[in-house]
A and B are shown apart, each in its own frame.
Chain A
Amino acid sequence: MVALAMSRQRARLTKRVVLFGGLALFTLWTVLPLYWIVVTSIKPNLLIYREPQLIPSQVTADHYTFVLTRTPFLQYVKNSFTVTLVTTVLSSAIGTLAAYAITRLSFRGRAWVARAVVVTYLVPASLLFIPMFQVIHTLGLIDNVVGLMVTYLTFTVPFATWMMIGYFRSVPFELEDAALVDGCSRMQALVRIMLPLALPALAVVALFAFTLSWNEFLYALVFIGSDSQKTLTLGLIGLVRGDTFPWGPMMAASLLGALPPVLVYVVSQKWVVSGLAAGSVKG
C-alpha cells in the first residue's frame, strides 16, 4: 500500500514537472517576439543600435510620435478601416441572404450551390491574384482601395455564407413556419425571425471578416502603389527606406497595427473557437 501510494505521488510529481516545464517553454516561445516588439518600440535608438540592451534602462515615446506625425501611418490605418468596414458589412449581408436560401428554401441545384461555397472558400489567393490583377485593371480600380474592397469579397463572402449556413441550420423551423403561415414574406421572416436569433453568429462572422481583411497583404501588394491608397500591412513595408529598416518606428507601427485584431481576439476568445470549428480561418 505504501509503495503504491509512493509511486502514485511520484507519478503526480512527474506530471507537474512536465506540465509546468512545458508551459514555461511555450510561454518563452510565445512571449519573446511579442516582448521584442514592445521593447524595441520604446527604446531610444542608442539602445537599439549602439548599445543593444535586452531590458532597456531608458524608455521613450519618440518612435510613436515619429510614426504618427512624420509618416502616412494614420492614412494607412484609415484605409484599412474603410476597406475592412465595407468588406465586413457587404459580406455579412451577402452571406446571410445566401445562407438563408441554402438552408431554408427549396430549389433545384441547392446542393451544388452549397458545394460551390465551400470550394470557392478553399481556392487559394495565389491562384487568383494574377487574373484578378487583370479584372481590377479592366475595372480601372488599380491603385484604388475600392479595388481591394471588391477583391476581399472573394474570401469573406464564401466564408460568411458557410458560417451562416451552420448557424441557420441550428434554428428550429417551427419559429419561422408560424410567421410564414401568418402571411410573412420570406424576406420578412428572415429579417424579423431569423436575424435576431442569428445576431451572435453575425458577430462572429463580422469578427473574422474584419481580421481577414485587416491582415490581407498579397492583393494589396499587387494592386496598390501610392501612399494615399495603402492599407496598414502594405504601408508597414513602405516604411523601409531603401535597405534601411528603421526598427524603432517599424515596431511601434507594428504594435499599433496588431492591436485591433489581438484585442478583438482576447476579448472574444470563446466565439473565436466556435468560428474555428467551421474550419474557416487561416492557419
Chain B
Amino acid sequence: MTQGFGALGTDETLARPRQTVASVVGVARGRHLLGRDWASAWLFLAPCMLVLVGLIGYPFVSAILLSFQAKLVGSPGAWVGLQNYYDLLFGRDLSGAFFQSVRVSVLYTLVAQVLKLVLGMSMALLLHEQFRGRMFMRALFFIPWAVPTLIAGLTWKWMYDGTSVGLLNMLVLRLGVTNELVQWLGNYNLALWSVVVAVVWASTPFWAMMFLAGLQAIPGELYEAAEIDGADVFQRFRSITLPGLAPIIIITAMLSTIWTANSINFVYVLTGGGPANATMIFPLLAYQVGVAGAQRLGMGATISLFFFPVFLVLIYFLTKRMLAEEER
C-alpha cells in the first residue's frame, strides 16, 4: 500500500509523458499549441468532463449562487444577498439550531476519529502478528466495513432499543450493570456517544486495513535491529512503527474526516438528529431545512457551504499528496 501511495505520489509520467517513438514522430510534424494529441485526448476525455463539469462543477457553483437566494423548490429564486448567512448566524428561528449543529458536528467527528485511530491501530497491530487463522481473522474484522452503512445503522438502532427487548439493555440488565433500562438513543447526554460507537464500529476496519498495509511495508530488519539494541515494545512502536505509518495515518485521517463529517446515514437512521437536536450534525440540518419540510433550497445550501472552507483545506492537502508531482 505504501508503494501504492509512493507510486501515486511521485509520478513523473503524470506531469510529462515520456518521449515515445510516437511522440518523436509528433514533434517532427510540429508541436501543436494545444499539445500533440489534443484532439484525441479531449475526445477521450469528453464524457468524463461532462460529468465533472456538468454534474459536479455546475451544482457546486449553483450551491454558491443558491446561498444568496431565497428559493423554494420549483419557484424562481429572489436574490437576497447575504441574508441567508445573516439569518443563519443571528436569525431567531435557525441560529440556535445552527450553532448546535456546529458544536455537535465537531464533537462527533473529533471523537469518532480519535476512537477509530486508536482501535484501528490496535486492530492492525494484532492482525500483523503471526498466528494461526490470521487470514480468517482479517476477513472477519473486515466485514463491518463491507456492510452498507444504512444497514449497520439499522442494526445498531435495534440493539440500542430502549425497552427490555433491546440487546444492549438485555446485556446490561443481565450482567447487573444497572437496574434501569438505558435510553441509549433517547437520553440527551448519551445519544451522541451511542451514534459515535455505531460509526466507529462500521469504519474502524477501513483504518485497520490502511494501517495493516502500511505495517507490511515497514522492513522487519528495523525491528530486529532495535530489539538487539534493547528497545522494548513501546520504544519500538514509537521510533519505528509510528514514523513509518505517519503518511498513511495522515491520509486516512483526512479522507475519513471528510466522509464522516458529511455522511448523514447513521444519524438519520439512529436518531434523526434528536433528542432535542442532541445529535443534529450539519449535513442533516441542511437536509431538513433544504429538502425535507419547507424545502428552503437557498438556506439549505448556505448551511452546507458554511463548512466548506474546512473541507477545502483538507481537499487541498489531500490532492497535493495524491498528485505530489504537478505540472510546473
Query: Which residues of chain A have a CB within 8 Å of any CB of chain B?
Result: 19-20, 22-23, 26-27, 29-34, 36-37, 40, 48-49, 52, 54, 93-95, 97-98, 100-120, 122-135, 137, 150-151, 153-154, 157-158, 161-162, 165-166, 169-170, 173, 176-177, 180-181, 186-187, 211, 214-215, 217-218, 221-222, 232-233, 236-237, 245, 247, 250-251, 254, 257-258, 261-262, 264-266, 269, 272-274, 276-279, 281-283
Contacts and interface: CB of A to CB of B under 8 A. Distances in A.
Contact of A283 (B7, B47, B139, B203): B203
Contact of A218 (B13, B44, B265): B265
A258 B45 CA distance: 35
Majority-rule SS of B interface residues: helix
Given A108-B34, A135-B55, A124 B148 contact: no
B258 A215 contact: no
A217 B265 contact: yes
B273 interface: no
B73 A131 contact: no
Contact of B148 (A20, A49, A258): A258
B294 to A, nearest CB: 13
B158 A40 contact: yes
B14 A154 contact: no
A95 B49 CA distance: 10
Contact of B41 (A105, A123, A245, A261): A105
Given A100-B44, A157-B48, A277-B3, 19 more contacts: A27-B137, A30-B144, A105-B41, A107-B38, A111-B14, A111-B326, A126-B282, A126-B304, A154-B55, A170-B7, A181-B21, A215-B149, A221-B287, A222-B291, A232-B148, A237-B269, A254-B155, A273-B209, A283-B259
Given A131-B63, A279-B5, A269 B138 contact: yes
Given A111-B15, A279-B255, A106 B37 contact: yes
Interface stretch (B80-88, B238-246, B311-319): B311-319
B141 interface: yes
B143 A266 contact: yes
19 contacts: A30-B143, A30-B144, A95-B48, A106-B17, A106-B26, A107-B35, A107-B38, A108-B38, A118-B318, A120-B57, A124-B261, A127-B308, A129-B287, A129-B291, A134-B59, A150-B55, A169-B13, A261-B146, A282-B203
A135 B212 CA distance: 42
A257 to B, nearest CB: 6
B60 A123 contact: yes
A265 B146 CA distance: 7
B132 to A, nearest CB: 11
A154 B51 contact: yes
Interface in B116-174: 116, 122-123, 126, 129, 131, 137-152, 154-159, 164-165, 167, 170
Interface of B: 1, 3-5, 7-8, 11, 13-15, 17-18, 20-23, 26, 33-38, 40-42, 44-45, 47-49, 51-52, 55-60, 62-63, 66, 73-74, 116, 122-123, 126, 129, 131, 137-152, 154-159, 164-165, 167, 170, 201, 203, 206-207, 209-210, 212-213, 251-252, 255-256, 258-265, 268-269, 282-283, 286-287, 290-291, 297, 300-301, 304-305, 308, 311, 314-315, 318-319, 322-323, 326-327
Given A169-B14, A251-B158, A277-B213, A215 B20 contact: no
B45 A52 contact: no
Given A107-B37, A169-B14, A283-B206, A122 B158 contact: no
Contacts of B57: 120
A215 B158 CA distance: 19
Contacts of B291: 129-130, 133, 222
Contacts of A111: 14-15, 323, 326-327
A177 B20 contact: yes
A173 B287 contact: no
6 A-B pairs with least C-beta separation? A277-B4, A111-B327, A107-B35, A283-B206, A98-B48, A124-B262
